[in-house]
Structure 1
Amino acid sequence: MKLPGGKKAIGTGIGILIIMLLGYRLFWYKPPVPVIAVKQVEIHGTVHGPGTVQCKVPVTVSPKITGILEKLYADQGDRVQKGQLLAELDAMELKARAAAAQAAKSRARRDLARAQADLVKAQANLGLAQSNYRRDLEVFKPGYISQASFDTTKAQLRVAESEVAAFQAAVAAVQASVKQAESETHAAEALHGYTRIVAPMDGLITVRKAEVGTTVPPGSPIFQMVDLDHIWVAAWIDQGQIAPIRPGQKAAIRLRSGRQYQGQVVRLNAEADTVTRELEVDVKFEKLPEPLVIGEEAEVDIDTGRQTAPAVPLSAIMNKNGHKGVLVADKGLVRFQKITLGLHDGKQTAVLTGLKEEELVIVNPIGMTPGKKIRAELQPVASQSN
């Protein structure tokens, strides 16, 4: 026998139950949220960034003249010293040109010596002619010699003067020829010297780009080398982490090959990349890697110092309206608290202002909004450091 209205009563009961559950969920339920109690700790500040092994002074070794590469005395991987002979170009034609210029200079000097000797002789003849002229002038005035004889003496003086002027001009012309020959000799010797390609500095040859028999024009690279005194990792650091970085700070370097080295910050670029919003920071090796691979990928961790302050996990930091802060559990409600950050070690960050010890900070603020009711679940100290 069926009870009248039974189904309707059941439906009503279910509806009331659903309404009660929704009411509980909306007005009384407080979801559990992991929180930590803020503690004052010592933060060992580090700033991390990727980079590559580079050299401050990369140099391309190339010829100054066109020539055929005849000999190579160095190869990639060699350490060389400034002035060390690295390669030679075919010098036969330039050697012949230098010899011809030297011969022309020698001829010009011989011609100069002859011209100078002729000038000395002409100057001696001029001195004799001047002496004769003065003597004849003294005896001509009282009439002891004839006009014709005196005219002959005067003519001899003028001839001697013209000969001296002519030889002086000849000496000047030959001197100009000597200077030109000397200039041509220096130029030929310089060109011949350019066939010897030497190291411009102490360093390491990283690449050889030419082979014996290759015709190399001026500026064409034969070697690439680096200055071993200025090898560093050019690391790219986010602008937001630049503030605590200073030249002289220690850093740990990890190369792609797995090798680890110590380094030191030596330079911060003054211009950031406007696209990536990163700044180049150069970290010099304290000891050079062996083998050294220019362009090898690396990672650096820069030691930015130590700071004792209240600390929170980096995962708890959020941005709201341009302000950094955290969500705290305050009497069962979520509240946004603006803070000022200090150093961080990649896991935790020091909080300079805005938080006190023992305040409850929500570990993961994703999905949380200020004013929401929660039930704070305090995480153990061990979990806070994870």
Structure 2
Amino acid sequence: MNRRVVRAVGLAVLGLVLLTGFVLLMVRSGPLAPVRVTTAVLERGAFENAVFGIGTVEAERAYAIGPTSPGRILAVHVDVGSEVRAGQLLAEMDPVELDARLAASRAASARAVHALASAGAQVRDAEVRQELAARNARRYASLGERAFFSDAAVEAKRQEADSAGAQLQAARAQLDAARMDLQRLDAERVAVERQRANVRLAAPVAGVVTARDAEPGTTLVAGQSVLRMVDLASVRVRTRIDQGRSGGVRAGQAASIVLRSRPGFAVAGKVSRVELNGDAVTEERIVQVVFDELPKDFAFGELAEVTIATSRGADVLAVPGAAVHEQDGRRGVWTVADGATAFVPVRTGEASLDGRTVVLEGLQAGDRIIVHSERELRAGERVAVVESLEGMRR
């Protein structure tokens, strides 16, 4: 009988221990356990927002240097990577017969100058002859009225005066023709000189040579390039920014540029222009970013990571982006008061790249909010604040 009592008591104690353990398990780790959460206390402080984009290093002003007429390359004086000054001779085309044509044109212009001088002398001679003939005609006419000369003699002198006037007109016409001929020959000479100058390919601006497309001896057609160069003052990063985050980007804002060839090394820059045209397919907007100081080791077409600082604030209330939730169509955060949860609707502003979101209304400095939780929360639910959710129960 005693054995039965002892056995019954032992089973009862064992059952009580198991029940207690089960209850503790349910309270601590089961459905009745408080939800483990991480929290943060809100504080006002500095807030800096930025947008991020990927761009390529390009030059806004690039030049293809080549002949304006077909020809053969005589010499190329620069190579890829050469820095050149404005007006510097880069390459030369074979002038072929242009030198001979230029010499002939200059000789023809010189001859026209002499012809013009000769025509001018003939005009002056004709003017003197016409003036003399006119005086003789007037004198003979006056004396003829007094019967000193016959009518035939008077008429002969009048005809001499008319002939001298016609010769003067002819001389003046020849002078005008000589003047126009000189203008024509000068224009032809200038045209040949320009053609001769075009075979000397010079740099339009100061810059750097980026490509050498042809070598001496190569025959080119008009418009085909011998060299390509860029204006270093126009180097910039053509950056693509998500249209949803580009609203705050303005010209003059500071930017940080990390070239693909130099990871981890940021180069300072600024926004020079926000393009009016965007990309409807990728939903991106084009932003031109220039370097404050052009780096020495870069490549055109190189990818770059660009971060543009769009706004700054010294007294801003911001919460981690993970703390903001949608509840019944309202945007808000979960707060902790006396160990229980409460959902507080808030009005938010912009979000930064580091994951913080500005709170405009609904919270105050000193409020404790829930950042992460091990499962979805409900109002009035008990929570247990922990440092981290790593190793949470499964």
TM-based fold match above 0.5: yes
Alignment match, 1:85: 89
Q: Secondary structure at the match of 2:250?
A: coil
Alignment match, 2:140: 136
Alignment match, 2:240: 236
Alignment match, 1:291: 297
Q: Secondary structure at the match of 1:295?
A: coil
Pairing partner for 1:344 from 347, 352, 365: 352
Pairing partner for 1:262 from 261, 268, 287: 268
Q: How far apart, CA to CA, are the structure 1 residues paired with 2:63 and 2:306? A: 26
Q: Secondary structure at the match of 2:74?
A: strand
Q: How far apart, CA to CA, are the structure 1 residues paired with 2:282 and 2:373? A: 26
Q: Secondary structure at the match of 1:299?
A: strand
Within a 5 Å distance, the mapping from 1:195-274 to structure 2 comes to 195-258=199-262, 259-274=265-280
Alignment match, 1:65: 69
1:56 shift after superposition: 2.7
Q: How far apart, CA to CA, are the structure 2 residues paired with 1:111 and 1:71? A: 41
Distance change in 2, residues 1:314/1:204 (3 Å): farther
Q: Percent identity?
A: 31
Pairing partner for 2:42 from 18, 39, 43: 39
Alignment match, 1:106: 110
The answer (yes or no) to whether the contact 1:50–1:236 under 8 Å persists in 2 is yes
Q: How far apart, CA to CA, are the structure 1 residues paired with 2:270 and 2:194? A: 44
Alignment match, 1:314: 321
Q: Check if 1:53 corresponds to 2:57.
A: yes
1:364 shift after superposition: 5.2
Distance change in 2, residues 1:311/1:218 (3 Å): same
1:183 shift after superposition: 1.1
Within a 5 Å distance, the mapping from 1:321-360 to structure 2 comes to 325-326=332-333, 335=343, 337-342=345-350, 344-357=352-365, 359=367
Q: How far apart, CA to CA, are the structure 1 residues paired with 2:382 and 2:76? A: 78
Distance change in 2, residues 1:382/1:235 (3 Å): farther
Q: How far apart, CA to CA, are the structure 1 residues paired with 2:36 and 2:194? A: 82
Alignment match, 2:8: none
1:178 shift after superposition: 1.5
Q: Secondary structure at the match of 1:193?
A: helix
1:278 shift after superposition: 2.0
The answer (yes or no) to whether the contact 1:255–1:296 under 8 Å persists in 2 is yes
Distance change in 2, residues 1:64/1:372 (3 Å): farther
The answer (yes or no) to whether the contact 1:306–1:343 under 8 Å persists in 2 is no
The answer (yes or no) to whether the contact 2:332–2:343 under 8 Å persists in 1 is no
Deviations 1:281-309 (A, max 9, x none): 22221221112311111112223324433
Q: How far apart, CA to CA, are the structure 2 residues paired with 1:68 and 1:207? A: 19
Distance change in 2, residues 1:281/1:356 (3 Å): same
1:140 shift after superposition: 0.6
Q: How far apart, CA to CA, are the structure 2 residues paired with 1:28 and 1:354? A: 31
1:257 shift after superposition: 0.9
Relative to structure 2, which stretch is displaced further, 284-293 or 320-329? Answer: 320-329
Paired AA for residue 378 in structure 1: V
Q: How far apart, CA to CA, are the structure 2 residues paired with 1:323 and 1:220? A: 64
Alignment match, 1:178: 182
1:61 shift after superposition: 2.4
Distance change in 2, residues 1:374/1:50 (3 Å): farther
Q: Which ranges of structure 2 fall in alignment gaps of 5 or more residues?
A: 1-22
Paired AA for residue 351 in structure 1: V
Distance change in 2, residues 1:171/1:223 (3 Å): same
Pairing partner for 2:158 from 147, 154, 157: 154
Paired AA for residue 191 in structure 1: Q
Q: How far apart, CA to CA, are the structure 2 residues paired with 1:318 and 1:119? A: 102
Q: How far apart, CA to CA, are the structure 1 residues paired with 2:286 and 2:271? A: 11
Relative to structure 2, which stretch is displaced further, 315-324 or 138-147? Answer: 315-324
The answer (yes or no) to whether the contact 1:30–1:373 under 8 Å persists in 2 is no
Q: Secondary structure at the match of 1:246?
A: coil
Deviations 1:200-247 (A, max 9, x none): 111122222222222233332222222222322222222232344333
Distance change in 2, residues 1:290/1:336 (3 Å): same
Q: How far apart, CA to CA, are the structure 1 residues paired with 2:66 and 2:344? A: 64
Deviations 1:347-375 (A, max 9, x none): 33332333334555454589848x57855
The answer (yes or no) to whether the contact 2:144–2:150 under 8 Å persists in 1 is yes
Q: Which ranges of structure 1 fall in alignment gaps of 5 or more residues?
A: 1-20
1:77 shift after superposition: 0.9
1:342 shift after superposition: 3.6
Taking only aligned residues, the RMSD between alpha carbons, in angstroms, comes to 3.3
Alignment match, 1:305: 312
